[in-house]
Chains A and B, each alone.
Chain A
Amino acid sequence: MTTNKTSSRSLLAGDVGGKRLLIILLLGSVIFPAFNLMLPESSFFHISTYTLTLVGKYLCLALLALSVDLIWGYCGILSLGHGAFFGLGGYAMGMYLMRQIGDRGVYGNAELPDFMVFLDWHELPWFWLGFDNFGFAMIMVVLVPGVLAFVFGWLAFRSRVTGVYFSIITQALTYALLLAFFRNDMGFGGNNGLTDFKEILGFNLQSDVTRSVLFSCSALALIFCYLLCRWIVDSKLGRVLIGIRDAESRTRFTGYKVEYFKLFVFVLSAVIAGVAGALYVPQVGIINPGEFGPLNSIEIVVWVAIGGRGTLYGAVIGALLVNYAKTYFTGAMPEVWLFMLGGLFVVSTIYLPKGVVGLFQNLQARKENSKIGTITGVGT
């Protein structure tokens, strides 16, 4: 435990923003559930279950943003289809939760989920087998997005599909999945998706304790993945990735197998996205094909761009900020939200190439500069 701490400390030596973020997250993962569970509702500091779940949802989306920043910020791979991996992870979790319902569904059929009874199916399709088991489902959460990313990435990187071409075919990928999951015949609930979940590992999903635990899990997963990503980008491997980002051909000519590096980081990113999806689904209580929408995937990229690309903690901050703004504005002024979001895209790409994080860094640097300026001014 102590060694772990020291290693993480050295890991974050040059990452002030990351350090602050992780401390806040760590505190949050304890304080939020504690304030929710221990304080009475009348207390000023009480955090409602609604808020807790909402913030937990943001944390999952932040994890998703982190996975995109890992490939876009550090390897220059712009995926406009990361929602696909998020959605697949979510569906794997959703299938487990579906099986947990058992005979408490509307039709009371212990063998089949409600929508299959509704479609007049008599047997569980083969790809649903095994999802009764939590361990198996968790393996699938990692495996399904990972394998898809591996196959897709292997094909794409090997034939050197880069830049916008890659972005466009990732979009085609998620669009194809969207269409496929909309079909009832696929066996994933058609356009209603999977919902009406009752419990996870025997714990009631509606209870405050379960929600708190899920919240803490999301925060911890975010912390863990953050450290993992930080470790990777700081390692020698990370240097190669940055090399690929800045000059792919040159890196290749230096003798690195560019496609393997890309493939590794792409698969890892997909797995993280899958985990984010799996944590997201039990908290929001539904997964449907909408998650595969091309628009959603582009939105993820915007969180990263607004937060600050290539900093990791910028992605997390961007995801939290934009999603909070989305919740606020779609509630208060739904008309304005799309104007806001669209405007944010334009403004952040033109005026904030380094995102909010970059803005603060600039301000700080200017402050220090002016300090130095006054000091030197006194000197002369």
Chain B
Amino acid sequence: MKDCLRALASLSLMLACLYSPAVYAEELSFDQTVNALALAKKMKEKERVIAQLAMTSSEKKLQVLTSLQKGTLYYRKSDKRVVFSKLVESQYRINDVLTGEEYGLTEKRKLKKINISNKLRNQLRLIVAKIYLSDKNDERRSRAVKDLINSPDIKTLGIIESALDIEQNSTIKQNLQLASALIRLNGENEAGRLLAIHDLEGSLHKKVISALIALQEKDDEGRYVEPSEKVREAAKKTVASMQGAQEFYRFVENLFFGISLGSVLLLAAVGLAITFGVMGVINMAHGEMIMLGAYTTYVIQQIMPNYIEISLLVAIPSAFIVSGLMGVLIERTVIRHLYGRPLETLLATFGISLVLQQLVRTIFSPLNKSVISPEWLSGSMEVNGLLSLTYNRMYIILFSFLVLLGLVFLLKKTFVGLQMRAVTQNRAMANSMGIRASWVDALTFGLGSGVAGIAGVALSQLTNVGPNLGQAYIIDSFMVVVFGGVGNLFGTFFAAMSLGIANKFIEPVAGAVLGKIIVLIFIVLFIQWRPRGLFAIKGRFVED
């Protein structure tokens, strides 16, 4: 009955559309226009209905319009209900536009797509842009402006100019000016184009440089795209002035990537710097301690799926405890028997690493696990058009510095740290002064392993969490420790940063793999020059 009425209403509407375009101008509701969409046959009619739709005040109109743009708006042949559709395998999952009701999977032949012509599509784009630009939400408005910058279109100029008049937010205003200038760059009038170039000066958006360079290009027949000599000159000058800034920001970006890679290396290596550096134990299972930390993060997220935002904060101490306890266990059962036999320790701990890997494989399956990144870690800070710094990298840098500082504080300022250093320097003497060396050993090893676990939490945000996670970092970690000099946290910090930065600066020139090989060869050669690393401890107790 209801459907019947609705069909009747639509029919009358259609008639209205056909015969008296002026009458319905402001009276149609959202529901009516949507129904009319299914009935409109000619493009002209659709154009009118769409214009009507855009004028209604419904929240849903944007969804309908964008769906129309994407070609996912259909109507059901049987009752002309307009539906959103989503292709699932060979069928469509549809839900009603007006009521939101789910109709479930439907075969394609029962549906009809609401087609639009290219002309209509352009118009839609304008309408959508206009709606977005008048949105109250800053973020949505700013996204719309960015979209306009990325595909400048002369038709949007009017909308942009009118939006400029009312825009309050300064960043969005700037972007709007940029969009307007980019469009005017291809305008008819030479003076207008010159003015546009003038307006673009100082902007560092990627699009600006490519647009200005495009002005100086020739077409296939060897003629300049830009007819005016004056404009070409101005464009050239502006580009030249921008190139310096561009290079500078590229350098800053590389540096940032380098420091963030260095921070990852630092996190991975700092635990090793303690076990290898302070205790002289070559812990080949170090990578697996990192892996355990990463899996701890995964498990924590499984336990508290509703609190992903704080799961990492819970995971950090948990990973420290899990890996740390495992470290103490390994020290008490295996390494204790092997002090003074570094090569044997290496083999035994390597065996442990194989066992741990297989253990994880047996418990969690050999497949990678996905660890979810909380909201506050995603996204990036846009400094300007050329430089954007992602939040997760910034947090990693901050985090690794905090971990390093915490360790330095622990070793230098606390009583436990004092004991650790005493045992490192002279075991027999420390023992005779009443320090339980074996207890300190277990504690130190646990600390190193625990820090590796923390590194695992951080790494779970950057790479895949799988049984081989640790192996990927073990060689790098050793390189960092050996390069920096054993037993020296500052050396480890310096080595991690310089290797990270060097890697990122070589990468664009030589490629990622070759860059890594170059760094490895460099370290091998470097060891010849300084067999004890960059900041070697001097003194008698260094001798084996």
Instruction: Mark A residues whose CB is within 8 Å of B.
Output: 78, 80, 152, 155-156, 158-165, 167-169, 171-173, 175-176, 179-180, 182-183, 294-295, 298, 301-302, 305, 335, 338-339, 341-346, 348-350, 353
Q: Which of B353, B361, B478 contacts A171 (CB 8 A)?
A: B478
Top 4 A-B residue pairs of the complex, sorted by shortest distance between their CB atoms: A345-B351, A342-B354, A342-B355, A338-B358
CB distance from A85 to the nearest CB of B (A): 15
In Å, the complex CA distance between A343 and B354 comes to 9
CB distance from B136 to the nearest CB of A (A): 54
* 23 residue pairs A–B, Cβ–Cβ below 8 Å: A78-B343, A152-B524, A155-B528, A161-B528, A161-B531, A165-B527, A168-B479, A168-B482, A169-B523, A173-B520, A176-B517, A179-B520, A180-B517, A298-B347, A342-B351, A342-B355, A342-B356, A343-B351, A343-B355, A345-B347, A349-B344, A350-B337, A350-B348
Q: B352 contacts the other chain (Cβ, under 8 Å)? A: yes
In Å, the complex CA distance between A353 and B343 comes to 12
Q: Which of A167, A175, A342, A346 contacts B343 (CB 8 A)?
A: A167
B528 near A168 with CB under 8 A, answer no
Q: B475 contacts the other chain (Cβ, under 8 Å)? A: yes
Q: Which of A171, A302, A343 contacts B475 (CB 8 A)?
A: A171
Chain A residues positioned under 8 Å from B337 (CB to CB): 350
In this complex, what residue of A is CB-closest to B471?
A295
Q: B513 contacts the other chain (Cβ, under 8 Å)? A: yes
CB distance from B495 to the nearest CB of A (A): 13
In Å, the complex CA distance between A164 and B340 comes to 12
In this complex, what residue of B is CB-closest to A293?
B471
B544 near A163 with CB under 8 A, answer yes
B343 near A298 with CB under 8 A, answer no
In Å, the complex CA distance between A343 and B333 comes to 13
B357 near A338 with CB under 8 A, answer yes
B348 near A346 with CB under 8 A, answer yes
A159 and B528 contact, Cβ closer than 8 Å, known pairs A164-B346, A176-B520: yes
CB distance from B349 to the nearest CB of A (A): 8
Chain B residues positioned under 8 Å from A180 (CB to CB): 513, 517
CB distance from B352 to the nearest CB of A (A): 6
Chain B residues positioned under 8 Å from A302 (CB to CB): 347, 350-351
Q: B514 contacts the other chain (Cβ, under 8 Å)? A: yes
B334 near A350 with CB under 8 A, answer yes
Q: Which of B346, B516, B523 contacts A167 (CB 8 A)?
A: B346
Q: Which of A160, A161, A339, A345 contacts B350 (CB 8 A)?
A: A345
CB distance from A241 to the nearest CB of B (A): 17
Q: B170 contacts the other chain (Cβ, under 8 Å)? A: no
Given contacts A162-B531, A339-B355, A345-B351, 12 further A-B contacts (CB under 8 A): A162-B544, A165-B527, A167-B282, A167-B343, A176-B517, A298-B284, A335-B362, A342-B354, A345-B347, A346-B352, A346-B355, A350-B338
Chain B residues positioned under 8 Å from A301 (CB to CB): 347
Q: B303 contacts the other chain (Cβ, under 8 Å)? A: no
* Docked complex: B71-87 residues within 8 A CB-CB of A: none
In Å, the complex CA distance between A159 and B338 comes to 28
Chain B residues positioned under 8 Å from A173 (CB to CB): 520, 524
A344 and B351 contact, Cβ closer than 8 Å, known pairs A183-B514, A338-B358: yes
B355 near A338 with CB under 8 A, answer yes
Q: B245 contacts the other chain (Cβ, under 8 Å)? A: no
